[in-house]
Amino acid sequence: MTRILRRTFLRHLLRHPWQTGLTGLGVALAVSIVVGIDLANASAERAFDLAIEAVAGRTTHEVIGGPDGLNESLYTELRSSGEPWARRSAPVVEGRISIGDARRSLRLLGLDPFAEPALRDLGADVFSVDDGALGDLLVEPRTVALAASLADELGVDVGDSLEVTTANGTAVVRLVSRIRPRDELARRAARDLLVADVATAQELLGQVGRLDRIDLRLVDGEADAIRSWLSERSGSVEGIEIRPVAARSGALDQMTRAFRLNLEALSLLALLVGVFLVHNTLTFSVVRRRPLLGRLRALGVQRRELLSLVLLEGAVLGGIATAVGLVLGLVLAEGLLGLVVRTINDLYFAVEVQNVSIDLRALAKGGLLGVGGSLLAALAPAREATTSPPRWALLRSQFEQRTLRSAPRLAAAGLLLCLLASALLAWPSRSLPIAFAAIFVFVLGFAGLVPAATVAASHLATPLMGRGAGLVGQKILGRMAARGVAGSLSRTGVAMAALTLAVATTLGVQVMILSFRATLVDWLETTLQADVYVAAQLRSGGPAQTLGAHWTRVVSDLPGVESVVSQYRTQALVQRADGTLDPIPARLAATRVDRRGFDIFRILEGDERGLYEQFASGHGVLVSEPFAYHRDLGVGDTIRLMADDGVGDFPILAVYSDYATDRGIVTFHRDHFEQHFRVAGERNHSLGLFLASDRNIDDFVDDLERRLEEVHSDRPNHEPLPRVVANAELKRLSLEIFDRTFAITGVLRLLAIGVAFLGVLSALMALQLERARELGVLRATGLTPGQVWGLVTLQTGVMGSIAGLLSLPLGAALAALLVHVINKRSFGWTLAYQLPPMALVQALGLALVAALLAGLYPAWKMSRSSPALALREE
């Protein structure tokens, strides 16, 4: 009996392949988004950690200094100290390097072949080359070793030259050895590495005399021994610390957590739409089989059996869809990975990720969410199928009545959920998960309001539609179309909720991005006030290059230049209150700016009177809003940084607005900065030029470029010709980067629209197909095929319009939450909320078009079917 029942039920799914297929596809797509995002995130993180792990080798600790690294003599002293740990130390010079057109971002690792074997297999492998190559690496300038796989990828062989770009400029290096690391870990790490001798790395990176760190392999207690050895060194004024290597590996995870959480939440929102779809499909399948269910009950089938049957149906549908979703997710992850990595590279850290690593946890999570969500969605229809008494079950009208009556109750529950969401948001917390939870609760609550709102809207629409259709002499048809929406609420309700939710999500995300962009544009106006900028490079990504001091002089001497704002960037480690080091280094900017240029800082907190004087005289620093927010700091607090002259406390004078990085920036006046940090050769990353008001900018740019080329041709070195960019162009470039980093969000939004679209298509199609009999009656009573077509189209149009209208307040509210709560908590940014009318119109249009498209096939089919056939009972 049970087997027959089971087969009867499952066959039902096959009887309606279109509906089942579309629902399944919707769920599969939703699951694939969740899995794709998870896999892409996990892959980026794993690649980052692996790179650190493999390069660390057997290293347990590292000796580090301020932003300018360590004086190389420290290594010689340490090595000659006669201490036992000295034998297990190795110098490291490390930096970003890009090859060719900067598409490939790699790390240059400068190592000492004689120290490597004690610490790293990778290093030992690199230098286990034949004698000639070793001589080349040690003696000849600009010689490097590459992993064989990377060399193949780049199409270079031993002896070939490669053009590389580092922070120090462009150079041509020669490949003298191909590395073939023996173990898999080292092989993976080597894929993104250029290895050279310490000398070569120092020269290429412009770090002559300095080491980035000294790696150590220590046993218990030796870290303290080194600490005391360091403190006993005479004449040491540098800030030098020793820390475990493990402290580094969590950095990417921490830095990008908010970014990844946002992506994840977006993907979950898409899944929520998917769950609504399953719910809709199953509700629908239950509703349309009410007669069958009634008969089964009358025949004595137990409630429990029916319950499990419906749940089984949900599980099978959800299970198959989820399985497809997992496979799709793997494919999607390949595409998303590039976007995720690009954003991470633009905003956070250079990490090269080649392929998606199959993370079982991500797959399990996707599977669980897909099947679990489907079961959850099946729960209500399953109960519905079993709770109604057999006789009732046979009566459609009864059921519709009951659904109508339950709408207000559902609405009340929805309101309650909305209140709960408000309470969660009002909770004084900076927790991002709580904020996302509140959003989900809010969305669910709003979905609960949809049926009631639909009824109300359809009542409102009925006379309107009647009048509208009356103009073409089809008054009745118009009224029928509008009333039908409320009349078949059991089937339209969930579809409407899904459509509303999907459209609102896309609206919310879009409005958030637009608000962000508008805020950024506004901020760029303030912060990019100089007329012309000169920089070593324009694009972000790749190693950050600097300009030598002579360029500053060349530029300042040009006629028409009134003042110059210079900026140098670096990063330093922050000491926490408990004395440990924050694994994420703080970004520092050293700027030389006069009073006029100081206006580029939009002060959010702090007294602006006398601020410039205090800043210029080195009384303290300015911090950007995200920096203050994340570390819960304000004016008057101090930051403890590992400077080049030791650990120092720097008071915060003011908090200013900045959208360049969510990691936050600490800005020093250049003079103040140089008291505590070393800047080799007075270098700068960029110069902003304020021109005299009578100077024509285009003419000036021409003069400037000519002058720079003159100077450049007089100095034949590897330093590239500085780039000149006028104010407007720089703004355009900034927005380009913004758009690029939001590309992934845009893609997710499109995918969410896809899910929603599939959902609406399946729901409405089913709805109309199910009405075949009703329409048959109408045909029999004289409706022409054209009129049937019109009726169906009108009705889906009404539904689309109502859902579209409902999505507007939800979308606007979602956007407000994303802008004011999520962005603030994720990135520490205050954004100005903007609701452009165009976005609202688009959302409405989207809902309408989706609904109308969904109605096309049923309308066509209905209008063509013969009334007699439609009237025949199944």
Partner 1 sequence: MRLSILGVLLPALVLAACATDRQTPTEASENGRRAPSAVASLTAPVDGSDAGYARADEVVELSFPMDHGPHPDFQTEWWYLTANLETTDGRRYGLQWTIFRRALRPSQPFRDSSWATRQVYLGHFAITDVERGRQHSFERLARGAVGLAGSELEAGGPLRVWLEDWSLTSSEKGTASFPWTLRANGLGDSGGEPTISAEIDVRPSKPLVLQGDRGLSRKNSMAGGASYYYSFTRLAARGVLRIGDRHESVTGTAWLDREWSTSVLAPDQTGWDWFSLQLDDGRDLMVYRLRLEGGGIDQASSGALVGPSGEKTPLAVDDFTLGVLERWTSPKGTTYPIAWRLQLPKQGLDLEIRAVVADQELDVAFRYWEGAVDVTGIGSESGRGYVELVGYGD
CB of 132 to partner 1, least distance (A): 5
Angle between helices 432-470 and 396-426 (to 10 degrees): 140
CA angle 725, 729, 730 (to 5 degrees): 75
Taking the complex as a whole, the smallest distance from the CB of residue 206 to partner 1 amounts, in Å, to 9
Nearer to partner 1 among residue 206 and residue 776 (C-beta): 206
List the structure tokens of 605.
């907190």
Beta carbon of residue 685, minimum distance to partner 1 (angstroms, whole number)? 22
CB of 81 to partner 1, least distance (A): 7
Per-residue b/e over 741-763, b at no fewer than 16 CB within 10 Å?
A: bbebbebbbebbbbbbbbbbbbb
CB of 362 to partner 1, least distance (A): 33
**Between 72 and 658, whose beta carbon lies closer to partner 1?**
72
Q: How far apart (Å, rounded) are the C-alpha atoms in residues 816 and 751?
A: 22
Positions touching partner 1 (CB under 8 A) are 72-73, 75-76, 79-82, 84, 86-88, 112-114, 116-118, 121, 124, 127-132, 134-135, 138-141, 197-200, 202-203, 208-209
In sign, the C-alpha dihedral spanning 659, 660, 662, 666 is negative
Give the span between the Cα atoms of 454 and 661, in whole angstroms.
44
Output the smallest distance, CB 214 to partner 1, in A.
13
What is the C-alpha to C-alpha distance for residues 532 and 554, in angstroms, rounded to an integer?
A: 14
Closest to partner 1 by CB, 75 vs 690, is 75
Query: 632: phi > 0 → left, psi -120 to 50 → alpha, else beta; which?
Result: left
3-state SS of 187-251?
Answer: HHHHCCEEEEEHHHHHHHHCCCCEECEEEECCCCCHHHHHHHHHHHCCCCCCCCEEEECHHHHCH
Residue 606 is given by DSSP the state S
Residue 509 burial (CB count, 10 A):
23
Pick the closer one to partner 1 by CB: 199 or 544: 199
140 vs 709, beta carbon nearer partner 1: 140
Sign of CA dihedral 476, 481, 485, 487: positive
| Residue 694: Cβ within 10 Å count | 6
Nearer to partner 1, 198 or 679 (CB): 198
- Residue 205 CB, shortest distance to partner 1, in Å, is 10
Nearer to partner 1, 86 or 604 (CB): 86
Least distance (Å) from partner 1 to the CB of residue 253? Answer: 29
Nearer to partner 1, 95 or 776 (CB): 95
CB of 506 to partner 1, least distance (A): 55
Under DSSP, the state recorded for 101 is T
Cα 283 versus chain centre, distance: 35
Q: Using the minimum distance from each CB to partner 1, give the nearer residue, 200 or 280.
A: 200
For partner 1, the closer of residues 211 and 341 by Cβ is: 211
Nearest residue (CB) to partner 1, 124 versus 453: 124
- Read off φ and ψ for residue 72, nearest 5 degrees: -65, -20
**How near is the Cβ of 113 to partner 1 at its closest, in Å?**
6
Residue 840 one-letter amino acid: L
User: 662: which 2 tokens?
Assistant: 């969510």
The residues, ordered by sequence, that sit 6+ positions from 425 with a Cβ below 8 Å of its Cβ are 435, 438, 817, 821
User: Shortest Cβ distance from residue 560 to partner 1 (Å)?
Assistant: 37
Q: Of the two residues 86 and 292, which places its CB atom closer to partner 1 in the complex?
A: 86
Question: Reduced to 3 states, what is the DSSP secondary structure of residue 142?
Answer: coil
Cβ nearer to partner 1, comparing 217 with 825? 217
Q: 3-state class of 507 per DSSP?
A: helix
Give the nearest distance from C-beta 83 to partner 1 in angstroms: 10
Least distance CB 180 / partner 1 (angstroms): 11
The least distance separating partner 1 from the CB of residue 112, rounded to whole angstroms, comes to 7
DSSP string, 333-372: HHHHHHHHHHHHHHHT------S----HHHHHHHHHHHHH
- Helix, strand, or coil (residue 113): coil
The H or E element spanning position 107 is strand 104-111
Nearer to partner 1, 203 or 644 (CB): 203
Nearest approach, Cβ of residue 94 and partner 1 (Å): 15
CA atoms within 13 A on the CB side of 87: 4
Using the 8-state DSSP alphabet, how is residue 720 labeled? P
534 close to 555: Cβ distance less than 8 angstroms? yes
Report d(CA 200, CA 194) in Å as an integer. 11
Looking at residue 771, its amino acid is R
Report H helices in 474-588.
475-487, 489-527, 549-556
| Contact of 255 with 345, CB cutoff 8 Å | no
Complex with partner 1: residue 82 or 473, whichever CB lies closer? 82
